[in-house]
Amino acid sequence: MSRYLRIILTILLSIVGVLLVVGYLRSAGLRPVQAGSPEGVNAPTKVGMDIGGKNAYETVGRIDQNGGSFIGYGYLNHVSSLADNIAFSDPINHSETTAYFTYFVTSTLTSHSVITSVFIIDSVGYLRIFYNPTHTASFTNPASFAAGTLIAKSKVRGQDILNVQSPNKGVATGFTEDEQILATPFTINTQDYQFGEVGLLERGFYTGEGTRTDSVTPKSFVIGSGNTVVTGLPGQAIFMPVINH
């Protein structure tokens, strides 16, 4: 066999090998990865999941309590890796009437503690984030914050601490542990985006003013703001130190 024929045969075998690998990946529901793009050239741009201690996203909203049930709703005041002129119709004046991204939380009380004037409530539930370019949200209609396209969903465990300052008034501080279970790509101006990713672990914080409206049921609401940071990435290994005795 001539040298040139051997070269041609080698090239053909390489092409066949590549085609077989690509065919296998597609049959397995996977996509081949292109250098410089961890998930391929057609992967959506991921937003709302910056790491390194940065805020993944920030919120402004309200929490309503009715007995052992809670709902939280509002808008995203900042989304990491997404410019404000994309997240809002007015990048300077942020409000529920200019925000494209809203959230809605449902949760249920799991425990309740009181020590003098400090009330502690633990709860579990779900956080949903929506993309809604029509600006239909209004704090007079909590359900309006659950309108639009559902783009992310997380399981949430919450701890709310209320420091009573006067009758029926207090300073509320809250923390959440979030695990994302849904991430649906969405499109803005022909560009595909994805909010976070499945398996993402996050820690939320918020603070605001709490008001009790019914001491028997009880009923109350909190108006405030907060932020969320990434604490763990999907598939991230957790390394524990080895201690020799």
pLDDT at 28 over 50: no
Question: Token digits for 166?
Answer: 């006067």
pLDDT at 1: 54
pLDDT at 8 over 80: no
Tens-place pLDDT, residues 139-197: 999 999 999 999 999 999 999 999 999 999 999 999 999 999 999 999 999 999 999 99
The rounded mean pLDDT for the chain is 86
Tens-place pLDDT, residues 76-109: 999 999 999 999 999 999 999 999 999 999 999 9
**pTM (2 decimals)?**
0.80
Tell me which of 34 and 197 has the higher pLDDT: 197
- Residue 70: which pLDDT band, with cuts at 50, 70 and 90? very high
pLDDT at 241: 53
